[in-house]
Amino acid sequence: MPRHIVRLVLIMVGFAVLAYGAKQFFTVDSFYQYGHYRGSSVADIASDKPKYKGTAYCASCHAPQLAEWSNGIHNRPDIGKVVRCEVCHSAGGERDVRGTFEHVSTGPDHPKNLKMVVPKDTRQLCTLCHERMTGRPLQQRQIVVAEHAGTQQCSVCHNPHSPRLNLVSAASTAQAGDAAAGKAKAAACAGCHGAEGVSVNAPGPTLAGQHAAYLHDALKAYIEGTRSDPMMNAGAQGLSDDDAANIAAYYAGVTCVSSLDAAKQATLQDKTTAPKCAACHGADGNSTNPSWPKLIGLSKAYLVNSLKAYKGGARKNGMMAGVVKDMSDADMDNVAAYYANATCK
Amino acid sequence: MQQNEQLENQPDEQLEKQQKERRDFLGCLGGAIACGAATVVASAASSAAVAATAGGAVPPIPNFDWSKHQWAFGVDAERCIGCLRCVEACKRENNVAPDAHHFRTWVERYVTLEGEEKARIDSQADPANIAASGTDGQYRFANRYKDAKVEKAFFVPKLCNHCTHPACVQVCPTGATYKTEDGAVLIDHTYCIGCQYCVQACPYGARFFNEEKGVTDKCTWCYHRITKGLQPACVEVCPVSARIFGDRNDKQSLISQFIQNHRVQVLRPETGNAPNVFYVGIDKDVS
């Protein structure tokens, strides 16, 4: 065989050996360990850190929110419907290499420099699941946003951590009290709440014309200690649940006529947050829902005190807590002035 | 070398010499190729032997033995409300590019209008839906059929089917995608050369190209979560349990119960891929 051919063949053989050697050298050991792939890649992929941590993780630092949420409608594991913390607040674990997603993070830094989403625009958030939409199964509660909320944020009326509003309280389903029996018991209250429950410069608020269900709830709260006031604690001492129901029936039956000063109201309207309140307390403070108190007849001082009590946490109510959270002292003053105009004869 | 003997009878010596040389050369080349083939066969045999001996081996994942699990996924389209929280959670959990064109899981809306034969299909990547969410990093379905006469409509979550006979694994030239013992189809990003054969091969469109890394990408059933005893991120955030995940080896698991108690179906069974994502509540339009 001519030499140039032999050379060529030698070069080719050399190349083949080199190629084979290179393949052996560069193929990682774990290739073919479990099959035609790099075996160590399985453990590599499995070693990634989970970013969604679950509600148990948040529990260690956010017990109040968790407690509220756990008892709320968004935690229904029994029917397989649970809206977890991280659905609204985004992942609690480290975020990706690229940094944050643009829409993420409004608040200050979370532990480990992670910014949690604090959803300010609940109209965007809640409607993801609750806007009435073609194709959305009927068992999901849905609303037509414009009719239901107008232009308001959902969080004005709904507490995002426990959104269901309790329309029918236990008291209003309980049997109605006996107004005559109540009248007898109520004699002891006149000193502070005025004769017939119309308070004029007395320490206690006007009770006349208030919803019976609300009065019953309020009294029960004092009796059970969930609402507390040095003077009123004494007033509620010794009352039984039946007494409370009877007294509530009595005061509810006493007429209280609203006589809003329309002129004064008109001048205040733009400064007040009153439109926010109308959905629950009625346009003129005369609510029609038995569990939501009427605001008519209450003094300005009492209104301001109550709002401050909700904000400070001394009075606890999911709905009112949501309402007063963003109100300044000036806002409270204005809105109280607005409703305090409603007097009872 | 019989042929050479025949050729010796030819008169033209010059030509004869040339042809003999050519044949010698081809003969040598044939021999070299045979040698090469022999070594390749030998090496394949030896590596097959390695694979066979490694049959009982388990990848070193803490507290996890893949031979004890057989994962499967369920989708209950009757419960899906189209909130797209799964899509967003998947993106965060797996560092998927935050735009409206790359998804490991997605949700489709099927709407049949009165008088129309075919369903109209849109997903979160539809321009109208991007406009409704405001950015391509957030996802929401636009309420676009609010005033239309709709005959029927429903949402269907989609993801990689982690098939028992995955076409994508068959076509991969480098062994960069494979099926694990416990049933997940994974991609080894260090071995992927970005040829995208697998993207073409998948009948479900579950794979996409990650331009940033130059590799293909797809759902892993959150392999890093399920091997730690967690649920995949999309299942974790689903507010209505429309997504179900679990181990078919455990007869009490949610997925075993789901398959037992519903008439489940898979997408495109005719392709022979044998998917492991089981659907309830879809109709013929869905594939």
CATH number at residue A234: 1.10.760.10
HSE of A165 in the Cβ direction (CA atoms, 13 Å)? Answer: 16
Asked if A293 and A242 sit in the same domain, the reply is no
Show which of A213, A229, A252 is a domain's final residue. Answer: A252
Q: How far apart are CA B211 and CA B97, in angstroms?
A: 10
Residue carrying the six token digits 């053989």: A13
Number of domains in chain A: 2
ipTM of the complex, rounded to two decimals:
0.79
Q: How far apart are CA B164 and CA B276, in angstroms?
A: 7
Residues of A in contact with B180 (CB under 8 A): 34, 42
What is the pTM (predicted TM-score) of this model? Answer: 0.75
Q: How far apart are CA A116 and CA A134, in angstroms?
A: 32
Cross-chain CB nearest to B223 (options A9, A45, A97): A45
Specify whether the CB–CB gap between A177 and A215 falls below 8 A: no
Query: Mean pLDDT, chain B, as a whole number?
Result: 86
Specify whether the CB–CB gap between A222 and A176 falls below 8 A: no
Asked if A272 and A218 sit in the same domain, the reply is no
Residue A240 has which token pair? 């039984």
- Fold annotation for B66-163+221-280: Alpha-Beta Plaits (3.30.70)
- pLDDT: which is higher, B212 or B25: B212
The answer to whether position A198 is within a domain reads yes
A-contacting residues in B 42-61 (Cβ below 8 Å): 43, 47, 50-51, 54, 57, 59-61
Specify whether the CB–CB gap between A198 and A297 falls below 8 A: yes
Is 90 exceeded by the pLDDT of residue B150?
yes
- Determine the pLDDT at residue B15: 65
pLDDT by 10s per residue, chain A, length 345: 899 999 999 999 999 999 999 998 888 889 999 999 999 999 999 988 888 989 988 888 888 889 989 988 999 999 999 999 999 988 887 655 444 433 344 344 466 667 778 888 899 999 999 999 999 999 999 999 888 877 778 887 788 998 987 654 444 445 567 888 888 888 888 888 888 888 777 788 888 888 888 898 899 889 888 888 888 988 888 888 888 989 998 988 887 755 555 555 555 655 566 667 877 887 777 787 777 888 887 888 899 999 999 988 888 877 787 788 878 888 888 888 878 766 554
Cross-chain CB nearest to A80 (options B47, B188, B240): B240
- Length of chain A measured in residues: 345
Specify whether the CB–CB gap between A28 and A38 falls below 8 A: yes
Q: How far apart are CA B217 and CA A102, in angstroms?
A: 23
- Determine the pLDDT at residue B35: 53
The answer to whether position A67 is within a domain reads no
- Determine the pLDDT at residue B199: 96
Asked if A274 and A231 sit in the same domain, the reply is no
Chain-centre distance for alpha carbon A201: 36
The answer to whether position A104 is within a domain reads no
Beta strands in chain B (DSSP E): 71-76, 106-113, 120-123, 150-158, 177-179, 185-187, 208-210, 215-217, 243-247, 277-280
Distance from CA of A328 to the nearest CA of B (A): 32
Asked if A193 and A224 sit in the same domain, the reply is yes
Contacts 24+ apart (CB under 8 A), A257-261: A257/A209, A257/A344, A257/A345, A258/A284, A258/A285, A258/A286, A258/A296, A258/A297, A258/A342, A258/A343, A258/A344, A259/A342, A259/A343, A259/A345, A260/A284, A260/A285, A260/A341, A260/A342, A261/A341
Residue A91 has which token pair? 């992942």
- Determine the pLDDT at residue B84: 95
Cross-chain CB nearest to B50 (options A20, A32, A96): A32
Q: Does B22 touch chain A (CB under 8 A)?
A: no
- Determine the pLDDT at residue B1: 42
Show which of A252, A287, A306 is a domain's final residue. Answer: A252
- Determine the pLDDT at residue A260: 52
- Determine the pLDDT at residue B182: 94
Is 60 exceeded by the pLDDT of residue B29?
no
Q: How far apart are CA B54 and CA B47, in angstroms?
A: 10
Q: For residue A16, what is the nearest residue in chain B, using CA coordinates?
A: B36
Q: How far apart are CA A23 and CA B43, in angstroms?
A: 11
Beta-sheet strand order (sheet of B277-280): B243-247, B71-76, B277-280
Q: Classify A266 as helix, strand or coil.
A: helix
Asked if A267 and A246 sit in the same domain, the reply is no
Cross-chain CB nearest to B81 (options A31, A90, A137): A137
Q: How far apart are CA A237 and CA A251, in angstroms?
A: 18
The answer to whether position A248 is within a domain reads yes
Show which of A252, A285, A306 is a domain's final residue. Answer: A252
The answer to whether position A324 is within a domain reads yes
User: How many A×B Cβ pairs under 8 Å?
Assistant: 188
CB contact under 8 Å between A95 and B155, yes or no, is: no
Q: How far apart are CA A234 and CA A239, in angstroms?
A: 10
- Determine the pLDDT at residue A166: 62
CB contact under 8 Å between A50 and B225, yes or no, is: yes
Asked if A233 and A287 sit in the same domain, the reply is no
Is 70 exceeded by the pLDDT of residue B264?
yes
Specify whether the CB–CB gap between B72 and B255 falls below 8 A: yes
Specify whether the CB–CB gap between B16 and B8 falls below 8 A: yes
Say if strands A81-82 and A75-76 run parallel, antiparallel, or are unpaired: antiparallel
The answer to whether position A287 is within a domain reads yes
Q: Which domain covers residue A240, as residue numbers?
A: 179-252
